[in-house]
Structure 1
Amino acid sequence: MADTVESVGAGQLPASEGKRPKSVRVVLLALMIAMMLAMLDNMIVGTAMPTIVGELGGLEHLSWVVTGYTLATAASTPIWGKLGDMYGRKGSFLSSIVIFLVGSALSGMAQNMGQLIGFRAVQGLGAGGLMVGVMAIIGDLIPPRERGKYQGMMAGVMALAMIGGPLVGGTITDNWGWRWAFYINLPLGAVALALVSAVLHLPRKRAKAGIDYLGVVLLTVGITSIVLVTTWGGSQYAWTSARIMELIAIGVVTLVGFVFWQTRAAEPVLPLHIFRNRNFTLMSVIGFITGFVMFGATLYLPLYQQSVQGASATNSGLLLLPMLGAMLVTSMVAGRVTTNSGRYKAFPIVGGVLMAVGLYLLSTMGTGTTRLTSGVYMAVLGLGMGCLMQITMLVAQNSVEMKDMGVASSSTTLFRTLGSSFGVAIMGALFNDRVKHVMAERAGAAGKHMTEKSAALDAKSLQKLPPVIREAYQHAVSAGTHSAFVLGAAVAVLVLVAAVFVKEVPLRGAGAKPSPEGEDAAPPVLVEAV
């Protein structure tokens, strides 16, 4: 039988309790550490990459250090979710932590770029299970009605990772060497591993059906093809090249085959019935768009600040504080209001409006825009993202049965990941094209030659350029960010359109009223015990 204080079981702690048992708070601490591992890693490693290339060489393979990690993360995300649903959340989550730590240790010991790429892929396999595991376990432990209280905690971890990543990465690389950018994961991961092992006690499961291996292969190939298209298109290969066309064809064929097979598999990797719920489908769309906008903004805002406003790499991270701070505050407010009232439909609507307005304002920035003005614009964008970041996961989890909690969490995470890949790729294509065009227009052949060598210069390198070239480059970057943010604003309008059709189904937990029967009714809570 389960001990409701020392052993935490899914759904067994009623939301009416005024105070959570200590064990639940300890588990939440461990989950936040694991979440930070997944989010912090790329930002720390990104800062260390110039030093890594300087020691290991292989500059031509630099992009694969990130691409290998991203591919493995995206492809494994839905698989981790399904494994948790089939065989138990705790075991799959601990396995993902171990794989991530093994990949981190091996990456720190890499002797050449080939090894580093391979070990980063191992690390990415584990990272795919970290975020899914965190969201799914929180979904098991805390009823949706109360989950809003913890949105601020998750948003805080995200903000800390975005701000602290570059700072920590630079400090570690300068003082300890780039290998510690990977080794730093080991003590943090060990703490999370120990806490989860000791305190978290979820029901053990054993599915009668086997793993859907064909579904796994089809989904992995399909997702890999999509990510490679968005990564290579417009950079290593032209969008109309044979290689990109082949990848698109492979992606379409395998994903169509995957959907067909999921209707026949005994234990499908991604049960299609969850998409019959209107709210879940809408949250998947909103999550995709949020990922599209957020990662595009966090990529091109620092570039604008460094190239046009003259900020250093470290300061450009700190200059994102208005956006991240606004996102954190709004997320906390949204969580509290949702917990107290049980109402949430207004947040995606307001978030869609603010996100579109914020991106439009950012698109108006020019070479003379002050940091104060850009900070206000970023705060508007942050307010919009704060209304959306955790609400999408909350509503998605509330729209499925407990047995599909892992699949729902992984699907929502996957759509956000794919959205970020598309956002970075499409915004990047627009940005690079505009930069090259303006440079050629303002600086002639010299400008064209410079953009072929590099489409992004830091503030220190920029000061070494002749005044004419420097001014042309600043105008080019300003024009490029304008195009990227106009696209982002147009895409963000779709969030508002999708949010209008969300049906406000009562959240499971304390204070929730019985749901009307129908396809959008919230499924009952399934109480499980260890």
Structure 2
Amino acid sequence: MVISECVPVETNTQYPSGKLFYLILFSATLTLITGRIDSSIVAVAIPSITNDFHTVSDVGWYSAAYRLCLCSFQFMFGKLYRLFPLKTLFLTSIAVLLIGAVVCATAPSSAVFVIGRAISGFANAGIVAGCYATLASCLPLKRRPMYTGILGFLEGLAGISSPIIGGGIVENLGWRWCFWIILPLAGLTFICLIFCLPNVRNDELLTTRQLLSNIDLLGNSLFVLALTCLFLVLSWAGIRYPWNSAVIIGLLAVFPVLLALFVWDQWLKADLAILPPRILRNRSVLAGFVFSFCCNSAMTIVEYYLPTDFQVVYGFSATKSGYLMIPTMLGLILGSLVQGFGVSVVGYYTQFMIAGSMLMPVFAGLLTTLTIESKLARILSYAGFYGFAGGIGFQTPQIAVQTSLPDADANLGLAVILFAQQFGPAVFISASQSILARRLVHNLSGLAPGLNATSIPAMGMTDLRNQVETKSLREFLQGFNTSITQTWYLAVGLACLTAIGSGSMEWRSVKHSKT
């Protein structure tokens, strides 16, 4: 094992202090919390949404469309924050988030709701990148792990409150109000940023042509189209169309072509590309990408379907299912705080990733052993420890890329990690939805006259339970629970794969000056 102590030079930047620093930190944190609420509140509302739209076929897209746009435009925003004022991009992203929330709240159909989630995902790509760019501009490297941990703590609190608030809103006001509440929150962050965040401009003046070249619209378009083809395959194959259908085969053929064109475009444009090849040649960036990709995917699969399991199998209300997600979020918060303050104390961060890779597969595996007879305390303890295991390594790759890359490339390195954190869940939520739909058909067909391979994907999840006679209810609950736990096998595999990233990460310290 080689421990590196010499890292690229950190420039003598003048950082804000006093009240201005805390006002900027508050604004950035409030923005991140709003984005977190927007992304997580939908999970507890899914049963009501599917009942309202009378379909579960698009459930995977409620998350996948959001994450598709969130990760597809992450590289572009990484570049934009180098070219345009931070304040301008932040405010624009919040304005787009407001539009997405309105579209979701007023959606007349499942398809329109998916469009609203896509708009919100695009907005949050700018918000997340801007938040961490703001943190990097306000703090020296050695102080960032602690504040990154605090951000994770506050974001986790938002994650805890979202299902609780969302459950209460769904029961008392209806699921659409889950998105109406985004308006005052986003509006408050908009006002805070107007008055608190300096409008710092890039010192290098570029012509319009140079700006367009740096943004790399062609590369970003190819990337978005390639990912769209991939997500359509994951969402449709085996559910809407057979795997051997012309539509699926065509998408599978187009995806690698578009991806190859994107790679070729990035290689030709080099430093002008949205993803400069030099960034991916950094070992810490690659290791962080693999870890974040697998860790976030494994966490999201469990987080996405656990509230549904609580409501359908155990018969809890939407509000109570939100409360029951608290142990998972508390575990995530505690793990994030341990990692953040631990790195600040010892300097090194790789050991926290390794710890996460050791613990996550264990508790993910324990979650797959749950049955309808499992005690609630057992379920919540497994979920809580699973959250801690993920939280202890969750934000470490962000610190790693800032430590190993020059300041000028830090935003691009962060964009790679943030992309991995969103791309993995976007892919595997779609994949898990396909798995769940097939397992439901296999495990539930024949339990009632109305349940078959055609009707099950077209019904709301809580509607499924209402179709079953009392004498067959226990068998139905066992089948539904089995379908959920079988879907979580995917999370177990991904948790195991995080070891590739943690084992490959360089050993560097944030306490050593960049030389």
With the shorter chain as reference, the TM-score category is 0.7 to 0.9
TM-aligned CA distance change 1:457 to 1:122, over 3 Å:
closer
Maintained 8 Å contact 1:334/1:387: yes
Residue identity in the other structure for 2:319? T
- After TM superposition, list the pairs within 5 Å mapping 1:159-174 onto structure 2: 159-172=156-169
Maintained 8 Å contact 1:69/1:124: yes
Residue identity in the other structure for 1:36? I
Which residue of the partner structure matches residue 93 of structure 1?
90
Structure 2 CA distance for aligned equivalents of residues 498 and 178 of structure 1: 38
Pick aligned residue for 2:274 from 269, 276, 281 = 269
Judge which range, 264-273 or 43-52, deviates more.
43-52
What TM-score, normalized to structure 1? 0.84
Maintained 8 Å contact 2:361/2:496: yes
Judge which range, 141-150 or 448-457, deviates more.
448-457
Maintained 8 Å contact 2:164/2:320: no
Residue identity in the other structure for 1:38? G
For 1:264, what is the secondary structure of its paired residue?
Answer: helix
Pick aligned residue for 1:76 from 70, 73, 77 = 73
Maintained 8 Å contact 1:326/1:382: yes
- After TM superposition, list the pairs within 5 Å mapping 1:6-405 onto structure 2: 11-13=13-15, 21-45=18-42, 68-105=65-102, 108=105, 118-172=115-169, 180-201=177-198, 203-205=200-202, 206=204, 208=206, 209-210=210-211, 211-265=215-269, 267-405=272-410
Residue identity in the other structure for 2:14? Q
What TM-score, normalized to structure 2? 0.86
Choose between structure 1 and 2 for higher RCO, CA contacts under 8 A separated by at least 6 residues: 2
Structure 2 CA distance for aligned equivalents of residues 370 and 48 of structure 1: 24
- After TM superposition, list the pairs within 5 Å mapping 1:420-439 onto structure 2: 420-439=425-444
Structure 2 CA distance for aligned equivalents of residues 466 and 108 of structure 1: 34
Maintained 8 Å contact 1:343/1:506: yes
1:263-311 Cα distance to aligned partner (Å, 9 max, x none)? 2215111112111111111101111101210110012222322333332
Maintained 8 Å contact 2:233/2:248: yes
Which residue of the partner structure matches residue 421 of structure 2?
416
Structure 2 CA distance for aligned equivalents of residues 276 and 71 of structure 1: 25
Q: Give the root-mean-square deviation of aligned CA atoms.
A: 3.2
TM-aligned CA distance change 1:438 to 1:349, over 3 Å:
same
Maintained 8 Å contact 1:84/1:91: no
Maintained 8 Å contact 1:30/1:191: no
Structure 1 CA distance for aligned equivalents of residues 217 and 123 of structure 2: 19
Judge which range, 229-238 or 127-136, deviates more.
229-238
Residue identity in the other structure for 2:283? R
- In structure 2, runs of 5+ residues without a counterpart are 1-10
For 1:311, what is the secondary structure of its paired residue?
Answer: coil
User: What is the deviation of 1:325?
Assistant: 0.8
Residue identity in the other structure for 2:246? A
Which residue of the partner structure matches residue 495 of structure 1?
498
Kindly, what percent of the aligned residue pairs are identical? 25
- In structure 1, runs of 5+ residues without a counterpart are 1-8, 15-19, 515-522, 525-530
User: What is the deviation of 1:165?
Assistant: 2.3
Structure 2 CA distance for aligned equivalents of residues 329 and 104 of structure 1: 30
TM-aligned CA distance change 1:332 to 1:53, over 3 Å:
closer
Maintained 8 Å contact 2:68/2:423: no
Judge which range, 36-45 or 345-354, deviates more.
36-45
Structure 1 CA distance for aligned equivalents of residues 217 and 453 of structure 2: 49
Structure 2 CA distance for aligned equivalents of residues 136 and 172 of structure 1: 33
Maintained 8 Å contact 2:37/2:159: yes
Which residue of the partner structure matches residue 518 of structure 1?
none
